[in-house]
Structure 1
Amino acid sequence: ASGSTDRLAEQVRERAVALLPDYMVPSVVMVLEDGLPLTPNGKLDRAALPAPQARPADTTRREPATQTEGVLRELFAQILGVPEVGLDDSFFDLGGDSILSIRLVAGARKRGLTVSARDVFRHKTVAGIAPHTRARAPRTGAPPAPETALRPRGSAHRPDTATSPASVPLTPIIQWQRDRGGPVDAFHQSVLVRVPAALDLPFVAGLVQSLLDRHDSLRIRLGRTPQWTLDVLPRGTVRGSEHVRRIDVRELGADQREAAVARAAEEAAGRLAPGSGHMLEAVWFDAGDTRTGHLLLVVNHLVVDGVSWRVLLHDLRAFATGAPLDEPTGISYARWGALLQEQAPRRTAELPLWTGAARDADDILRFAMLDPARDVMRSRATVTRVLPADSTAAVLTAAPARLGTGVNSVLLSALGRALRAWRTAHFGDDPATAAEAPFLVDVEGHGREEITEDLDLSHTVGWFTSLFPVRLERDDAPGAVQRRLDAMPDKGLGYGILRHLHAETAPALARLPHPQVIFNYLGRFERSPDADWTLAADLPALAGGGDAEMPLTHLLEVSAAVLDGSAGPELHVTWTFPSRLLTGEQVEELADAWFAALRELEETA
């Protein structure tokens, strides 16, 4: 009967999910009730096999059978921005990624459920995840309401003076930055947030103070003698009112506003002083009582990353609007650093994986060697590209779903093809050799991996980024790249641990070829032209930079993020490169070649 064969197919797939890595799990399982078709010679008649038929979409939208399924379905729709979700729709086929899975886990905790990011990746659908979700014990007490949201305009903020953890062990990415050399005071990331009209400076300063008091990482003080140390200052010792500036933009047009934001961002980065615990600067662009303004937040990159901004923006909105704000759960950034150090001796078995990835790897451009004295931040140049919304949806949602891979493997496969063709056409001494040789790309991951049971990092701010090399071969398809990514335990987290936290393995990894390209996919950031306390939609919303004399680490830095546009989410890409070694025209050609390779994958998937 059809029902029994459907159930058998589902059981086979469930068994495959339990035993196999994700990339090996078949997307379609068919049961042939009449057996396999055979040729007259008794061999399998492949031509007579029926075409695979994917399970039909859940058009009936059957209702959740449990409260847990109902909550998860609501969270899927909310986080992915889709109107309806079927119980058997894959989180990743609908546009989810590893960063959004963290938001799903955090949202579930707020709704009284505990689920791991690992279970989200393995089981993917509402129906699949629900059996692996546990109810959380209710809290015995509620945290006090945010003071900022309750006080009247213009009133003073009274900071909490409770003490915080004293120190933070240096994480692998912090040690990587230390070894880079050069100054770090202005090394930063920034966001620009739309804010309502008719604010005042004390209110804005109170919001900043609330962020400083809630998140220990924003009060970290960097020590540099005789070696780097990170110490957390007590709550209340960093005063928000001292780190907020107001700029009157009431009479400025759109172009003038954008120029004012760019100048203010550079000046704010110059005021950062990590040696004094001054990790955050804010600039309020006051547009008066009738026009919406903007708030620029500039934070030293030593204490923030892409996922951290999602936490900070959520908390900022809650403080400003008086929305309920959960008590911080999970572990601190300091405890995370200690966990990574404890992991080091347990990761040595991974060493052959990383040394093997570099075997026979070549430079992308053999002549283009960075000079740390000349190739610095002040001499860098950038090229930006935006993939239209329709192509973005196809590349980041439809193509991974059809190919059975993650977003990163699609992006990296296309990047490898574009880089190979570009270097062969313009720079290869021996085009045949250049075309064949594998090369390495440094890939940044969010780094918030579940290395212990029930690890909750959904509220923790810090620089968690993992950095690891990925080997790209000639004509790598997304599936081949996905297999290499899946072979890395904890999504590559172990490379940095072995490279920076383990004395015995560090020298071997330090001798490996240094990748010339670094790639970072930051995931999706929500923004709306009509919503306050969200990323600005009318001005550049995400930025970053460093001190003028900070050395560049890679010949090409590719940073990609998805931002909501008028027609839907768009892929925004920034290419950064040393102007001494490459021209803007060369990098523009490469940027266009990457988008062309992405569209080719979209069409052939």
Structure 2
Amino acid sequence: MGRVGVHDNFFELGGDSILSIQVVARARARGVGITPKLVFDHPTVADLASVAGVESVQAEQGIVTGEAPLIPIQSWFYGLDLPERNHFNQSVLLDVSGVDRQTLDAAVRALLTHHDALRLRSDGTRLWFAEPDGQGLEDADGRTADDVQASLDLVNGPVTRFVLISEDRLLIAVHHMAVDGVSWRILLEDLAAARSGAPLAPKTTSFKEWAKRLRQASDPSEDEYWDSVPVTELPVDHPAGDNTVVSTESVAVELDEAETRALLTQVPAVYRTQINDVLLTALAQTLATWTRQESVSVALEGHGREELFDDVDVSRTVGWFTSLFPVALTPGADRPGEALKAVKEQLRAVPRRGVGYGLTHDLTALPTGLSFNYLGQFDTEGFATVNEPSGAAEAATGRRAHLIEVNAAVSDGRLSVAWTYSAHLHDRATVEGLAEDFVVRLRELIEHCLTEEAGGLTPSDVSLAGLDQVALDRLVGGDRQVEDVYPLSPLQQGMLFHALAEPDSGMYVEQIHWRLEGDLDIDRMRAAWQRAMDRHAILRTGFLWEGTPRPLQVVRRRQDVPFEFHDVSGLPESEQEIWLRDLLDADRVRGFDLSAPPLMRIHLVRNSLDAHVLVWSFHHILLDGWSTSTVLADVFADNVESVGRRPYREFIGWLDEQDADAAETYWRGALAGFTESTPLGIDRPIAGPEGEPGTHGVVMSKETS
């Protein structure tokens, strides 16, 4: 990836929810307080800078021991039919060629001390965290990778082993009770850091604390949503078959590097999607065809590290945080764009990204037999993973949790999607057909998003506007250049009303002009105004009022600043003044079409080599006096990127949250008894030259001042 600019969108660069956790962790390690939700809501560096705070979450930095309750996904694990429960692992095999054994052992010991979950214990009713016991790097001593994988013990320990299977191969096996996909990124990053002698990043909130706090996070109001998810019965080829672990088989399909790159970096901007939206649209279309149902339910796995508590940060905490929850998907018509928008909105409607489902529902009784998990992009730091036999991560006994599991991940620049099933229930040809249909539909979605006609917003993109999909499509269609849509402030509504009532009056057209002395670089001046327009959404805003329940302001992604240069240095000074007055009059009369942004213009007039007049015209509906000063400060600042500005939409959002009835009641009470306005002298003629208002000035003494 090339240089990333402060206005580049994180998700349009290929970011996802798992990568956002890594961004948050690294920012917080440097004292910058952001959250995954802030990354989602403000996906550019410039926008994040305006809302970022100072990291203030305090976490225990010492060794954590003691008991904690099981979280829902761990209770789900104990509800599975698994006779060999100790053998349910995740693992990686690393190339450690050239790494000194003593150095590697010290790094392993540092991880086992730092990450408390690696010392987890459980008996099925509770968790507890053991003291470090001197465990470190192990040699194989005749053990095979299978032996290592089968040697973990939830009750007595260890639940983690770092074993040199050979001189240059390190097998890390961790029981799934103690680790998840995000955890592996933390562990591998820390192993590389410890190997190089660097200190490990500070701990975030312990898994023990998270497990205790999570019990307080249930929300019964979500039950209406969860209970509305319909049951989806998957067809099976062998109804009498037994869904055993030993009968597990898998089919994999993949995209090539170019297709994967398009999926990650070109597709997201078209409909403001994330990769999960696209993958699940293709999956929903595939399942709807297979089951012959309009809506299909899928069990989704999420990273589970949701922002439930202001004083909790688990961005660098190792543990099994996974959330598991059902979602009903209705892709609708076969038109790719319509299907993608529909599924995207259905996913946005899931309460709290599904983390609450397991707090009030039995995860072993999901209303669907198919699970989906996007594991993210894998790019190990410091050590290379090797695709060689590393032993069986799970025992071959017991019964599987789902009929079909679909797991997707990006590795080595390619998206791979594995469909895992039981040969006792489904024929390989059936699953191969599903996998092929899925990848065909995924390619159709990608190809559609690369066409000119693709694009459009969905209601969750412009939540303040309060529009449904039909109204939104009618308003902006597939215009990719629309950045946001939201209501007007009360004062803006008043200005719009008066401007529409008297369109030729020049009402609310503001002009500021001033003389600039000295050498002036015209291109730099133009660029400075363009930066200001890029920075401030209000300068790229137009207004729509026809065909909508209420007037709305529409922000464009990009607008070229109207900048005109005039050289009148060849005119006598007296004629220059006349020329300037004519320009100002004509510009004021010209006014603005409120529906066609930008509602501002710049004129730069050269009077001589070292004297210019700068004219800035804008409609008052955009800016008040304070905002005018803010824009000018940005234009003339050497470096405005370091100054955080809260976006105007946040003020509109704040207004929308206020209780208008309560405000009216307050002001009626505060103004009770007033029957007429207070006279200020402006409601009657005042003596002055040519009927203009008079002035009276007072100069205070230096002492008083």
TM-score, normalization by structure 2: 0.59
CA shift, 1:578, in A, is 0.5
Q: Does 1:273 align with 2:153?
A: yes
How do residues 551-562 of structure 1 correspond to structure 2 at under 5 angstroms?
A: 551-562=399-410
**Mapped partners of 1:246, 1:402: distance in 2:** 55
Q: Which has the larger radius of gyration?
A: 2
- Which residue of structure 2 aligns with residue 79 of structure 1? none
Give the match's secondary structure for 2:12. coil
Contact 1:447 1:493 in 2 (8 A): yes
- Which residue of structure 1 aligns with residue 468 of structure 2? none
**Mapped partners of 2:298, 2:217: distance in 1:** 25
CA shift, 1:493, in A, is 0.6
Matching residue within 486, 490, 495 for 2:348: 486
**Mapped partners of 2:327, 2:56: distance in 1:** 41
- Which residue of structure 2 aligns with residue 229 of structure 1? 126
- Which residue of structure 1 aligns with residue 304 of structure 2? 447
CA shift, 1:299, in A, is 0.6
- Which residue of structure 1 aligns with residue 185 of structure 2? 310
Residues 135 and 362 of structure 1, relative CA distance in 2, 3 Å threshold: closer
**Mapped partners of 1:271, 1:110: distance in 2:** 35
Matching residue within 112, 135, 140 for 1:245: 140
Give the match's secondary structure for 1:88. coil
**Mapped partners of 2:185, 2:294: distance in 1:** 39
Residues 238 and 357 of structure 1, relative CA distance in 2, 3 Å threshold: farther
Contact 2:64 2:206 in 1 (8 A): no
Contact 2:183 2:319 in 1 (8 A): yes
What is the identity, as a one-letter code, of the residue corresponding to 1:535?
T
Residues 129 and 369 of structure 1, relative CA distance in 2, 3 Å threshold: farther
How do residues 279-290 of structure 1 correspond to structure 2 at under 5 angstroms?
A: 279-287=159-167
Count of matched residue positions in the alignment of Structure 1 and Structure 2: 443
Deviations 1:265-306 (A, max 9, x none): 43221111112121112232445xxxxx23121110011000
**Mapped partners of 1:117, 1:380: distance in 2:** 36
- Which residue of structure 2 aligns with residue 515 of structure 1? 368
Q: Does 1:570 align with 2:414?
A: yes
Q: Does 1:83 align with 2:83?
A: no
- Which residue of structure 2 aligns with residue 599 of structure 1? 443
Matching residue within 215, 232, 235 for 1:365: 235
**Mapped partners of 2:308, 2:160: distance in 1:** 30
**Mapped partners of 2:195, 2:385: distance in 1:** 15
What is the identity, as a one-letter code, of the residue corresponding to 2:408?
A
Residues 582 and 510 of structure 1, relative CA distance in 2, 3 Å threshold: closer
Give the match's secondary structure for 1:180. coil
How do residues 333-352 of structure 1 correspond to structure 2 at under 5 angstroms?
A: 333-344=207-218, 347-352=219-224
**Mapped partners of 2:228, 2:166: distance in 1:** 55
**Mapped partners of 1:436, 1:448: distance in 2:** 33
Task: Report 1 or 2 for greater relative contact order, CA contacts < 8 Å, sequence distance ≥ 6.
Answer: 1
What is the identity, as a one-letter code, of the residue corresponding to 1:443?
L
Give the match's secondary structure for 1:557. strand
What is the identity, as a one-letter code, of the residue corresponding to 2:31?
G
CA shift, 1:194, in A, is 2.2
**Mapped partners of 2:375, 2:330: distance in 1:** 24
Residues 104 and 111 of structure 1, relative CA distance in 2, 3 Å threshold: same
Gaps in structure 1 of 5+ consecutive residues: 1-81, 144-161, 248-262, 288-292, 424-433, 501-508
Residues 88 and 593 of structure 1, relative CA distance in 2, 3 Å threshold: same
CA shift, 1:466, in A, is 0.3
Matching residue within 214, 220, 236 for 2:120: 220
Matching residue within 450, 458, 461 for 2:315: 458
What is the identity, as a one-letter code, of the residue corresponding to 2:161?
E
- Which residue of structure 2 aligns with residue 125 of structure 1? 44
CA shift, 1:595, in A, is 1.2
Give the match's secondary structure for 2:164. strand
- Which residue of structure 1 aligns with residue 81 of structure 2? 181
Q: Does 1:319 align with 2:191?
A: no
Give the match's secondary structure for 1:177. helix
Residues 446 and 163 of structure 1, relative CA distance in 2, 3 Å threshold: closer
Residues 482 and 204 of structure 1, relative CA distance in 2, 3 Å threshold: same
Give the match's secondary structure for 1:395. helix
What is the identity, as a one-letter code, of the residue corresponding to 1:123?
H
**Mapped partners of 2:271, 2:281: distance in 1:** 12
Q: Does 1:585 align with 2:457?
A: no
- Which residue of structure 2 aligns with residue 533 of structure 1? 383
**Mapped partners of 1:577, 1:366: distance in 2:** 11
CA shift, 1:384, in A, is 2.3
TM-score, normalization by structure 1: 0.68
CA shift, 1:404, in A, is 1.7
What is the identity, as a one-letter code, of the residue corresponding to 1:577?
Y
Give the match's secondary structure for 2:216. helix
What is the identity, as a one-letter code, of the residue corresponding to 2:131?
P
Give the match's secondary structure for 2:408. strand
Deviations 1:13-48 (A, max 9, x none): xxxxxxxxxxxxxxxxxxxxxxxxxxxxxxxxxxxx
Contact 1:246 1:286 in 2 (8 A): no
**Mapped partners of 2:269, 2:392: distance in 1:** 32
**Mapped partners of 2:156, 2:414: distance in 1:** 39
How do residues 7-46 of structure 1 correspond to structure 2 at under 5 angstroms?
A: none
What is the identity, as a one-letter code, of the residue corresponding to 1:365?
P
Residues 552 and 137 of structure 1, relative CA distance in 2, 3 Å threshold: closer
Contact 1:441 1:519 in 2 (8 A): yes
